[in-house]
Chain A
Amino acid sequence: MTQIRPLFKREFLGYFRSPVAYVFLISFLVISVSLAFSRYGNFFKSGTASLETYFLFFPWLFMFIVPAVGMRLWSEEKRAGTVELLFTLPITTLEAVLGKFLAGWAFLTLGILLSFPMALTVAYLGDPDWGVMAATYFGAILMAGAYLGVCALTSALTKNQVISFVLSLAACAVLVFLGLSSFTTTLESILPVGLADVVSNFSFVTHFDAFTKGIVDPKDVIFFLSLIGFTLFLNVVALER
């Protein structure tokens, strides 16, 4: 497992070796902040000193942003032929999968934490609940990991980055839509209520919402962590096939 370190390091620094990292981090901040201040976000009008309106959009934003980070993880290696180099080095597939995933996750975490000035603004304007804030950040990071797990998997399926992006986007979209009330009503009309509940239980929105209210429910944590574990397992299978 000590082999993960150099892989992580190469992958993480790799983001900064190209303009990708800067373009990504800046657009993420610009989009997330402007959404919060937009008509839909009502950052000011909400009248409460919290970031709830800022984080409201994260499940949606991640749907586009995380595939942009995840699509290159394996597709790029396959296209450039460097997989052959990577997998003839003395590492196991699991180590490679973990090294890459953790690097992408660390990068996303960095992006999320860069929004901390927003929190400071709120603190300046009012008296936010730091507990809720911490829970929300924790939830956002967990959710980013789950999205990334999905995207890493789809990226392992193709050497074409565009296909990889579209596949990831579609997979993430499904995971978001499952939780929308209009969608669940439709589900309930075609499926037994119990089953519809189970299905909508797979939505990221449902599980993320609790965090933004300051509730860290072990069930939600386990949901995201097990989704990460499951996608990484499939990732290994997809690469070894």
Chain B
Amino acid sequence: MIAVQGLVKIYGTQRAVDGISFTVQRGEILGFLGPNGAGKSTTMKMITGFIRPDAGTATVGGIDVTADPVGVKRQLGYLPESAPAYPEMTVEEFLGFIAEVRGFRETVEKRARIEHVLTLTHLASVRAQTIETLSKGYKQRVGFAQALIHNPPALVLDEPTDGLDPNQKNEVRTLIKSMASEKAVILSTHILEEVDAICTRVIIIARGRIVADETPAALRARQPGARLDEIFRTLTADNASA
């Protein structure tokens, strides 16, 4: 569903993303891990067509994002880092806007879409509140709701559980898991337990390069008995000294 081939992004002299390749099939949940500044968000921005890669290609559902960006964007649900949204709009107005741009212009269908995601993300109680007055976790949920509104075949979620309380983290994980059977999902996270909890595959990147690409079980097997954060530290530190 999502295929990335040799992606490169250069900022000044820094190779923020340095030749990343992977594919994600429907039914897979790919956990994207790496230290701060590793290039996770940058990679996601290139897949979603927000920034142009300096080299390499990204395709979603067989469509190349540089050749037909709108075609790719139709199939993607994207939650950008820190979930930007128009602060002066209410939750309902905002989701209504997204629904309209996503092609749901008819009142009945639009309403149904909005109601559906409001329920999924537990936002019904704040539907008439303006987004600027929401707490961080609620804002995050609005961003998530926005990404789901058109039931896309591919989801790209940049730190979807960031800022959520433990109950909500669990809710969101369950939700992602329940949808995953027919979707290809990429999510980035700093929470290593999340990998065990929902991911079918893990990619760890450091300084723009992939240092591990395997199942959570294989990752654990690298150092039997060690905690995940120790393995993470070994992998990302190796790269730094190399």
| A interface residues (Cβ-Cβ under 8 A, vs B) | 3, 5-7, 9-10, 14, 17-18, 80-82, 84-85, 87-92
Q: Is the CB of A10 within 8 A of B48?
A: no
The number of residues on chain B lying at the interface, defined by a beta carbon within 8 Å of a beta carbon of chain A, is 26
Given contacts A81-B80, A81-B82, A84-B50, contact A89 B73 (CB under 8 A): yes
Which residues of chain A have C-beta atoms less than 8 A from B103's C-beta? 90
Cβ-based interface call for B146 (8 A): yes
Task: Give bound CA distance, A9 to B80, whole Å.
Answer: 23
User: Is B87 in the interface zone, CB < 8 Å from A?
Assistant: yes
Q: 1/0 per position for B69-103, CB-CB distance to A under 8 A?
A: 01101101010101011111100000001101111
Q: Given the interface contacts A6-B97, A87-B50, A92-B70, does A17 sit within 8 Å of B80 by beta carbon?
A: no
A3 surroundings in chain B (CB, below 8 A): 101
CB distance from B217 to the nearest CB of A (A): 33
B80 near A91: Cβ-Cβ < 8 Å: no
Contact status A84-B84, CB under 8 Å? yes
Q: Would you give the shortest CB distance from A84 to chain B, in whole angstroms?
A: 5
Looking at chain A's contact residues, the main secondary structure is helix
- Known A-B contacts A17-B88, A17-B89, A80-B87; the reply to A85 vs B80 at CB < 8 A is yes
Query: Are B102 and A89 in touch, CB under 8 angstroms?
Result: yes
Q: What CA separation (Å) do A89 and B70 show in the bound complex?
A: 8
User: Which 9 pairs of residues, A with B, have the shortest CB-CB distance?
Assistant: A6-B100, A81-B84, A17-B88, A90-B73, A90-B74, A84-B80, A88-B48, A82-B84, A88-B78
CA distance A95 to B101 in the complex (A): 11
Closest residue of B by beta carbon distance from A89: B101
Which residues between 146 and 197 of chain B lie within 8 Å of chain A, taking CB atoms? 146
* Alpha-carbon separation in the docked complex, A80 to B146 (Å): 17
Enumerate chain B residues within 8 angstroms of A18, measured Cβ to Cβ. 88
Knowing A88-B73, A89-B73 touch, does A6 contact B101 (C-beta < 8 A)? yes
Residues of chain B whose beta carbon lies under 8 Å from any beta carbon of chain A:
45, 48-50, 70-71, 73-74, 76, 78, 80, 82, 84-89, 97-98, 100-103, 105, 146
Among residues of A, the one whose C-beta sits closest to the C-beta of B45 is: A84
Interfacial chain B residues near A88, Cβ < 8 Å: 48-50, 73, 76, 78, 80
What's the Cα separation between A90 and B89 when bound, in Å? 20
B102 and A10 within 8 A (CB): no
CA distance A100 to B36 in the complex (A): 35
Minimum distance in angstroms from B205 CB to a CB of chain A = 20
Chain B residues with Cβ under 8 A from A85's Cβ? 80, 84-85, 146
CB distance from B159 to the nearest CB of A (A): 14
B154 → chain A closest CB, angstroms: 12
Question: Within the assembled complex, what's the spacing in Å between the Cα atoms of A82 and B82?
Answer: 10
A-B contact list, 8 entries, CB within 8 Å = A10-B86, A80-B86, A82-B86, A84-B80, A88-B50, A88-B78, A90-B70, A91-B70
A82 and B85 contacting across the interface, CB-CB below 8 Å? yes
A26 to B117, CA, bound (A): 39
Complex: chain A residue closest to B100, CB-CB: A6
* With A80-B84, A81-B84: A91-B101 Cβ-Cβ less than 8 Å: yes
A224 to chain B, nearest CB (A): 30
User: Which of B88, B105, B146 has the most chain A CB atoms closer than 10 A to its own CB?
Assistant: B88
| CB-defined contacts of A82 to chain B, threshold 8 Å | 84-86
Distance in angstroms from B39 CB to nearest chain A CB is: 16
Contact A7 B101 (CB under 8 A): yes
Distance of B117 from chain A, by nearest CB (Å): 15
Kindly provide the distance from the CB of B143 to the nearest chain A CB, expressed in whole angstroms: 8
CB-based contact A14/B88 at 8 Å: yes
Minimum CB–CB distance for A23 against chain B, Å: 14
Not counting A9-B100, A10-B89, A88-B80, a sample of 5 additional A-B residue pairs whose C-beta atoms are within 8 angstroms of each other reads A6-B105, A14-B88, A87-B49, A89-B98, A91-B73
Residues from chain A with Cβ under 8 Å of B146 in the complex? 85
